[in-house]
Structure 1
Amino acid sequence: MTATRSSDILRQVAVLSATTFMIIAAMVGTGLLGGTPVQELQGGALDADASFLAPARQAFSIWTAIYAGLIAYAVWQALPGQRDSERQRSLGWWIAATEVLNGLWLLAAQFTTLPMTVVVIAALAAVLGLTFRRIVRRPGRGVVSAILVDGVTGLHLGWVTLATVANVAAWLTQTAPDDWAAFASVVGVVVLAVVAVVGIAIGWQGRGRVAPAAALAWGLAWLAVGRLAGEPADTAIGVAAIVVAVVIAAAALVRRTARASA
C-alpha cells in the first residue's frame, strides 16, 4: 500500500461508472427496456441455431456469473482498503475498459450492423487478453482478490474468446455464398483446432488459472450440444467441440499442477 492519490478516487469512480454503463447497456441491448431480444437481432444471426459455431442458448447463462462478478468487483474495489492498492492501480482502468466494451457490443448488436459487432467483440477480446496478462504478472493476495479479479476476468476472457468465434461465424454465415455450407464441417473443425491452441496458450500463460479454461469448456460443451442435438446439426463439429473442451481443461490443470509442485 502507498499514499492515496487523487487519481485513485477517480479510478474507483470510473470502475463504478463503467459497471453502471454496462448494466444499462445490457438492459437496453437484451430488450429488457423494450428493445429486441438478442436472439432476434440482426435478422436472427446471433441466435443459437444461426451458425455451426454457435453454442446452445443455455451457454449464455454464464453471463449471470460474469455480470455478478463484475458488479461485486466494482463494489469491492471502491472500498477504502483498495483505494491505494498497487494492483488496483494496475488493473482498475483495464477492467473498466472491458466493461465499457461489453456494454458497447450489446448496443452495437441492437442499433448497428453485424460487422460492427465483430469489430467490438474483437476489441473486447483483445483488451481482456491484455488485462489478464497484467493480472498474471501482478499476482494478488487473498481469496477475494483471486475470485473477483483473477476469476471473474478469467471467465470473461474465456467466454468472450469463444463468443468472438461465434460472432465471426454468424457474420460469415450471413454474407458467404450458400455453397460454402458444404465446407462447414471441415472449416468448423479447423476453427475449433485453433480455439484449442488459443485455450492452451491462455491456460499456460495464465499459470494454470482455471477460470478461462472453465468458461471455454462450458461454451464448447454447449456448442457440442447444439450441433449434436440441435440445429444446424453437425456430428464432426460437435465431437470436435467436446475434444477441444477436454484438451483445454486438461492443459490448464496440468499447468496448475506443475506450478504447485515446482
Structure 2
Amino acid sequence: MTGPLVRRLAVTVSFLLAMLGTAIGVGAFGGDPIDEAAGGLLAADATHLAPAGSAFTIWSVIYVGLGAFTLWQWWDSRDARGIAPPAIASLLLNAAWILTIQAGRVGLSVVVIALLLAVLAVLFRRLTAVPPGGALERIVVDGTFGLYLGWVSVATCANIAAALKGAGFSGFGAPSLLAIVVLAVVAVIGVGLAIAGRRPVAAPLAMIWGLAWIAVGRATDEPHAPAVAIAAAVAAAVIALAAAAQWLRPRRRGLASTTRTATTTTTARRVR
C-alpha cells in the first residue's frame, strides 16, 4: 500500500464488494441462495461433508467482524502487522466465490476457495508472528480472521465434495469412508492451528463449529451416515482438546517456574 488513505479506501471498497456479493448470495438482486444455486450441490443434504444449514449462521459473526475490521482500519495508522493486502484479497475472493457459484461453476469455485484459504493462511501467519496492539485488535482482527480461516478450512472440504459430486464422482463406491479420511485430515489441520502461535482461539473454534454441524447433518439428514457423524464429532473433540492443552501448557510452565523460584529463594535463605 502506498499510504494509509489508499489502504483504508481499498479495504473499505473491498468490504463493500464482499457485502454486495453476499447480498447476491442470499437471493437479492435476482440471485439464488447458495444452497439452491448450482443445482443444489452446496445444499445441506448434498454430500457427506455438507454441514447442516444452521452452521452457516457463523457468517453473520464473520461479516460483523469484517465490518469492525474495516472501521478499525480507519483508526489504525500504520498496519504494523502487514495484514491489509491479504485482508483485501480475502474480501475480493469471497465475493468472487459467490459469483462463481451463482454462475453454476462449482469446479471453478474450488479454485477460488483454495486461493481464499491460502490467503487466509498467510494472514494468520502474520497475525501469529506479531502480537496485537491490545485487546481491541485481538478481538477485531485476530478474532475475525481466525473465525474466517477456521470456517473456510472446513468449507473448502465441503466445496470440493460438492464439485466432485457434480462431476459424477461417487467416492470409489465408499463415500462414507472417503469422508472419514478427509475429516481426519481436517482434524490434523485443526490441531495445527490450535498449537500455532500464541494460543489462537477463533480458528479452532470455527473448525469445531463446522465439524459439529457436519456431525449433526449426517446424523439427522440425508445422506444419513452415522460413521461420518461420529468421525466429525471426534475430529471436533480432538481439535478442542488440542486447543485446551495449548492454553493450559503455558500456565503449567508458569506455575513450575514460580515453584522453582520459590524453592530457590527458600534455599538461599537457609544458606544465609
Q: Which amino acid aligns with 1:184?
A: P
What secondary structure sits across from 2:3 in the alignment? helix
Cα displacement string for residues 145-199 of structure 1 (whole angstroms, at most 9, x for unaligned residues)? 0111110000000000000000000111122345x47301111111100001111
Indicate which of 227, 230, 243 corresponds to 1:239. Answer: 230
Indicate which of 119, 135, 154 corresponds to 1:143. Answer: 135
Within 2, Cα distance between the matches of 1:193 and 1:176?
A: 24
Within 2, Cα distance between the matches of 1:187 and 1:140?
A: 39
Q: 1:118-133 alignment to 2 at 5 Å?
A: 118-133=110-125
| Residue 29 of structure 1: how far off its partner (Å) | 2.6
Within 2, Cα distance between the matches of 1:217 and 1:209?
A: 13
Partner of 1:256: 247
Q: Is the 8 A contact 2:129 2:197 kept in 1?
A: no
Which runs of 5 or more residues in structure 2 are unaligned?
254-272
Q: Which amino acid aligns with 1:8?
A: P
TM-score, normalised with respect to structure 1: 0.92
Q: 1:1-262 alignment to 2 at 5 Å?
A: 7-79=3-75, 82-87=76-81, 90-178=82-170, 180=171, 182-262=173-253
Within 1, Cα distance between the matches of 2:251 and 2:125?
A: 20
Within 1, Cα distance between the matches of 2:251 and 2:5?
A: 36
Alignment CA distance shift 1:86-1:230 (3 Å): same
Within 1, Cα distance between the matches of 2:183 and 2:63?
A: 26
Q: Is the 8 A contact 1:204 1:252 kept in 2?
A: yes
Within 2, Cα distance between the matches of 1:54 and 1:65?
A: 20
Within 2, Cα distance between the matches of 1:22 and 1:12?
A: 15
Q: Matched residues, percent identical?
A: 41
Within 2, Cα distance between the matches of 1:128 and 1:218?
A: 18
**Which 4+ stretches in 1 moved above 3 angstroms?**
259-262
Within 1, Cα distance between the matches of 2:84 and 2:252?
A: 31
| Residue 56 of structure 1: how far off its partner (Å) | 0.2
What secondary structure sits across from 1:218 in the alignment? helix
Alignment CA distance shift 1:261-1:33 (3 Å): farther
Within 2, Cα distance between the matches of 1:18 and 1:177?
A: 36
Within 2, Cα distance between the matches of 1:51 and 1:91?
A: 35
What secondary structure sits across from 1:189 in the alignment? helix
* Bigger helix fraction: 1
Within 2, Cα distance between the matches of 1:85 and 1:113?
A: 36
Cα displacement string for residues 231-257 of structure 1 (whole angstroms, at most 9, x for unaligned residues)? 110010000000100111111121122
**Residues matched between the structures, number:** 253
Q: Is the 8 A contact 1:207 1:255 kept in 2?
A: no
| Residue 261 of structure 1: how far off its partner (Å) | 4.2
Q: Is the 8 A contact 1:41 1:109 kept in 2?
A: yes
CA RMSD of aligned residues (A): 1.5
What secondary structure sits across from 2:205 in the alignment? helix
Q: Which amino acid aligns with 1:224?
A: A
What secondary structure sits across from 2:123 in the alignment? helix
Q: Is the 8 A contact 2:150 2:206 kept in 1?
A: yes
Q: Is the 8 A contact 1:200 1:252 kept in 2?
A: yes
Cα displacement string for residues 3-39 of structure 1 (whole angstroms, at most 9, x for unaligned residues)? xx95121111111111011001111232122211111
Within 2, Cα distance between the matches of 1:240 and 1:186?
A: 10
**Higher Rg of the two aligned structures:** 2
TM-score, normalised with respect to structure 2: 0.89
Q: Is the 8 A contact 1:42 1:114 kept in 2?
A: yes
Q: Is the 8 A contact 1:220 1:244 kept in 2?
A: yes
